[in-house]
């Protein structure tokens, strides 16, 4: 099934929003395949954000994501990537509609609380960057037939 990588970023963990953020994805029906609390190293940050190397905000972005622990989650479900992005909102929180995570809890682009993969290919690649196969669990959820047709 399609997978996406979610990162509850340092600002969200520090602000005590981890549970609230996970709740929104869980409530949507997305299923947890892996989850851990960790400190992101500079090397892992640079791999994860490789597409942004050379952009003016890159250095600040690596500093931000490595500044304090994060919670990383592999989520799966029908259209997991697109559904999670819609739940997260736009890159810039101040442009994000109310009802989205960034629109409800954020203001600035460099403190936008949560990451979600931007394509099915990125989802698979990013999940593999953060989780070993042994850390990912494929499990039957009793509510699956009530969420997935």
Q: Which residues carry out catalysis?
A: 115
Residues 58, 118, 124, 135: which binds Mg ion (CB under 5 A)? 118
Which phi and psi (to 5°) does residue 6 adopt? -110, 135
Decide: is 62 part of the binding site for ligand IDP (CB under 6 A). Answer: no
Q: Which is nearer to Mg ion, 26 or 118 (CB)?
A: 118
Query: Minimal distance in Å, beta carbon 118 to Mg ion?
Result: 5
Decide: is 57 part of the binding site for ligand IDP (CB under 6 A). Answer: yes
CA pair distance 92, 86, nearest whole angstrom: 13
Q: Which stretch binds Mg ion (CB under 5 A): 79-87, 101-109, 115-123, 131-139?
A: 115-123
Token readout for 73 is: 């989650």
Residues 6+ apart with CB under 8 A from 43: none
Q: Which is nearer to ligand IDP, 129 or 145 (CB)?
A: 129
Residues 6+ apart with CB under 8 A from 122: 5, 81
Decide: is 115 part of the binding site for ligand IDP (CB under 6 A). Answer: yes
Decide: is 4 part of the binding site for ligand IDP (CB under 6 A). Answer: no
CA pair distance 36, 73, nearest whole angstrom: 7
CA pair distance 100, 85, nearest whole angstrom: 9
Q: Which residues bind ligand IDP (CB under 6 A)?
A: 52, 57, 60-61, 91, 109-110, 112, 115, 118
């Amino acid at each position: 099934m399609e997978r996406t990588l979610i990162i509850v970023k340092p600002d969200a963990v520090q602000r005590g929003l981890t549970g609230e953020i996970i709740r929104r994805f869980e409530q949507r029906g997305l299923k947890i395949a892996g989850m851990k609390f960790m400190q992101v190293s500079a090397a892992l940050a640079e791999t994860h954000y490789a597409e942004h190397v050379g952009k003016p905000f890159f250095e600040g972005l690596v500093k931000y994501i490595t500044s304090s622990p994060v919670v990383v989650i592999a989520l799966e479900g029908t259209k997991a990537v697109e559904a999670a992005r819609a739940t997260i909102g736009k890159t810039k929180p101040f442009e994000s509609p109310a009802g989205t995570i960034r629109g409800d809890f954020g203001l600035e682009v460099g403190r936008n609380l949560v990451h979600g993969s931007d394509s099915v290919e990125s989802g698979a690649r990013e999940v593999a960057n953060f989780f070993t196969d042994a850390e990912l669990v494929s499990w039957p959820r009793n509510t699956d037939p009530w969420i997935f047709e």
